[in-house]
Every structure is written in C-alpha cells, then in structure tokens.
A and B are shown apart, each in its own frame.
Chain A
C-alpha cells in the first residue's frame, strides 16, 4: 500500500473538492465537503480497497491524510 495510491482513492470519494487539495498534509476534516456522510464513504473505501476497518476515533486522531494512511497501514 502506497501513500500516493491512498491519497488518490481518498480523493475519489469526494465530488466537489478539487483534486489539487488532496495532499499528504491535507487536514481532511477541515475540508468544506467533509461530514458524516463523507466519513462513511471513506470508511467504505478503506474497507473495500485496503481491507481495513477505520473507526470514528481513527478519523478524529488522524489530522491529515498521511496520518490516516499510517493508521490504516499499521492496522
């Protein structure tokens, strides 16, 4: 699992946020489009594409996309 692949998959979950905004240090919970629905969509993506379960605590603890990637990778 590579960070670049993770960021691309993460970005594909969003409809209205420009792809240029998805970087390793992006604080995803501060994106305008982020909300409870997006959380479920991201969780479903990580389950389907990476076979890992992400909790609401994981999403809260991960400040950035790179931090979330590390959490997922270490599960």
Chain B
C-alpha cells in the first residue's frame, strides 16, 4: 500500500493491576507453570465505568498534542474494538466529538480483536489513499476483562485492558505492505455466544454453568478453545508472514523487530523459532500487560521499542492472529516517530 506513513504510536492502560500469582482458581504450582508457559503475570483491569474508548481517547489526546496536529487535518478515525461503549451508535462517533474532529472526518468502528491492529492499519491507510496530505487516527483497544468470567480459569488469567492510538499520514513514497486472511469455519473458537441478535439477552443466558472444575461462565462471557487457537497460531502465522515477505521481496534478515499479538509465550516462541528470528528481535510485553486483545501490538511497541522508534529508522514486521478466525501481517518502516511512554489512567 503506497503513500502511507506511521507518524506516532501511543497507548494507555488502567491503573489497577491484577497479579496472576494471586489467581485463586489455580494452585501455587499451576500458577508458576502458567506464568512460565503462557508468560502472563500482571494484568490491567479497567474499573467499572472506564471503557476502551476512554483509554483510546487518552492515548489519542497525548499523541495529537505531541505531534502538534491540528484537529481539522484529521480526516479519518477508525476505532477497532470488540468492547464498544454502546451497541448503537458506533463509538467512533463518540470519539470524534470528544476529540473535536471536523465534520469532514470519516469515523466508524471495526469489530476485530487479535488481528485488529494490523487490519486497522490497512483500513485507515486504504482510506487515506485518495486524500493527499490528510491524516488518520487508528484507535485500537479493548476492555476484555469485562467479557470474561472470573470463575473461568481458561480465560481469566489471560486478558487485560488497554487502548492505543496510531497516527497515519498520506506521505508520497512511503509504503506499508499487508497480508490479511480470514477463516470463518472456526468462528466459534473464541466467542461470546449471547447478548447479540442471534441469542438475544434473556434470563437463561445469565445463569452460570460449570463446564469443569474451575471453568464456570454464563452466556454473556467469552468462551475460548485454547488448544484449537494454539494450533491455529502454529499453523497459520508463519506461512502468512513468509508469503508477505516473499511476495514483496522483503529480506527477513533485514527486519529489526517482529512484533506479535501477545497471546501466549509458548505459542509465540514456537512461531519465533519457525521463523528463525533471533530472540532479541522479538519483544514481548505479555508478562507485564497480558493479552490486551487488539491492543497488544501497540502496547508492545510503546513499552518495549519506545526508544528505538523515536531515535531512528526501524523495520517492523507486525503480526496479529485470533478471534474470527482472522489473522494478518504488516511490514512497516518507521523513522523517528512520536512514541510517548505508556499512559496510566
């Protein structure tokens, strides 16, 4: 995709921290194995009333200020989330007015999770194609802790909350390359089955069901088939990345960092080894921030590559994969971008 440049990235998390060493549904031995294997120790949990859009708003306000952007120059606002403020209207409209963007700004939501950052870059970049000189904001975030049962050990120790903002600009000569894929056959591997319009809200949906010891949830909670998702990651991510690199003639050894959706350390290390990428080229943020759904890639960029992104040229391979099932990779070259430290609200 030509003429698109990333100018800045910011992220925000809620202040409250949960420690998986205190997670009550796992024994001490299980907690230690979980933290070592899945790689997640600390998780951020948004208090009631703090939404994904609030986190993204904080990230966006800081980024716009640091970039010294004029609100009227922002022509595109894409909000990627699976935890919107309302069912109707789209939350991007709420954010558009809070950010005081002009009426000439396109604003809409995209319902994607783990792959959402990469998809969002493609969508926002695509819209900018025909807007020379225009600027776009990609806001990506979720409060997934609101969607999980605290009585479900298969999901509760994984998820965490965060929001992010990425600034894109139509710049002649710049390039971002994408390879995006979907497999709807396994749409229910990660699903909140109730509360939409297929299974509308009713009293039965609110009743907890114990599926096995330590796994109880109701119909409004997220269900995740861990083994299926694990195998999906092992099966699809590396071919997707290698196809992108081959098709675009990108030298894998020239990539400075591979930034993956922070799902599961064991899975990510398997992917890293398959790609033959050196450990120092694959940063992880999941120990401190957990799986923040669509926001894991910007959270990793902000917390692990903050200095490198601000100080010079960086070649990045980004890869997101999960709910949908949806996955994709992007190759981006950045240069001295604005990347403020993690915002805590």
Contacts and interface: CB of A to CB of B under 8 A. Distances in A.
Interface of A: 15-16, 35-37, 39-41, 43-44, 47-48, 53-56, 59
A44 B270 contact: yes
A39 B226 CA distance: 10
Contacts of A48: 270, 273
A35 B270 contact: no
A55 B231 contact: yes
A16 B33 CA distance: 11
The interface size bin for chain B is 20 to 34
A44 B154 contact: no
A37 B33 contact: yes
8 contacts: A36-B226, A40-B227, A41-B37, A44-B267, A47-B231, A53-B231, A53-B234, A55-B228
Contacts of B226: 36, 40
Contacts of A35: 30
B79 interface: no
A37 B27 CA distance: 13
Question: Secondary structure at chain A's binding surface: helix, strand, loop or mixed?
Answer: helix
A75 to B, nearest CB: 12
A47 B264 CA distance: 16
A39 B270 contact: no
Contacts of A41: 37, 266
A55 B266 CA distance: 16
Closest 9 CB pairs of A and B: A56-B227, A37-B33, A47-B234, A44-B270, A37-B37, A53-B231, A44-B266, A40-B230, A40-B266
Q: Among the interface residues B154, B228, B270, which one has the most CB atoms of the partner chain A within 10 A? A: B270
Contact of B34 (A16, A37, A55, A59): A37
A53 B279 CA distance: 24
Nearest to A47: B234
A33 to B, nearest CB: 9
Question: Secondary structure at chain B's binding surface: helix, strand, loop or mixed?
Answer: helix
A15 B37 CA distance: 12
Nearest to A58: B227
Nearest to A15: B33
A43 B33 CA distance: 16
Q: Among the interface residues B30, B38, B154, B230, which one has the most CB atoms of the partner chain A within 10 A? A: B230
Contacts of B37: 37, 40-41
Contacts of B235: 53
A41 B37 CA distance: 8
A42 B38 CA distance: 14
A54 B228 CA distance: 10
Given A37-B33, A48-B273, A43 B154 contact: no
Contacts of A53: 231, 234-235
A24 B23 CA distance: 36
Nearest to A56: B227
Given A15-B33, A35-B30, A43-B231, 4 more contacts: A40-B227, A40-B230, A55-B228, A56-B225
A36 B266 contact: no
Contacts of B154: 36
Contacts of A15: 33
A55 B264 CA distance: 17
Given A37-B30, A37-B37, A55 B227 contact: yes
